Amino acid sequence: MTPDEFAERFNRLRSSEDRYRYLIQLGRKLEPYPEEFRDEEHLVPGCMSQVWLVTVGGSEPSEVVFRADSDAHIVKGLIAVLLMLYSGKTAEEILTTNVQGLFERLDLGQHISVNRRNGFYSMTLKMREHAAQKVAVMEEGE
């Protein structure tokens, strides 16, 4: 599903309960998180619930593939949204993606708590850090 398709489906849901339910359904479809990375080093700082994030090898040198998990159902859904935006993209695409615009388009600020919103941006920041590191490594190799 593309971010536009997701936004269209999400915005058709009128109640907060329906939107929560939809996020939870998305979270249940996440790829399994590698257990060996469920540790302190891979915890995302700034999240109220536990969120783990790791990059795994992509098919192209510039591709960044993420796996992530949380101990909170709604947060898993938010992870699914971020993976839809970022995972499988090049590092450069990740750094130029406007997640703030999607957040506003989905009106998530009205449907999730301030703590979850802060956690969403913490996850975004961490993913962008991974992408920036990938760009730096690629530039060193040139």
- Delimit the domains of the chain by residue range: 3-140
Q: Is the pLDDT assigned to residue 28 strictly greater than 90? A: yes
36 band by pLDDT with thresholds 50, 70 and 90: very high
Query: CA 37, 33, 73, 26 torsion: positive or negative?
Result: positive
Q: Known catalytic residues? A: 47
Task: Tell me the pairing of strands 89-90 and 63-70.
Answer: antiparallel
Distance CA 128, CA 122 (A): 10
Question: pLDDT grade, residue 142 (50/70/90)?
Answer: low
Spelled out in words, what is the top-level CATH class assigned to the domain 3-140?
A: alpha beta
Question: What is the pLDDT averaged over residues 131-141?
Answer: 85
Q: Is the model's pLDDT at 66 over the cut of 70?
A: yes
Phi, psi of 121 (to 5 degrees): -70, -30
**Averaged confidence pLDDT in the chain:** 88
- Helix extents (H) in 1-142: 3-12, 16-28, 73-86, 91-96, 99-105, 114-140
State the average pLDDT over residues 64-85.
93
Whether pLDDT at 21 is above 90: yes
Query: How many Å apart are CA 69 and CA 28, to the nearest integer?
Result: 10
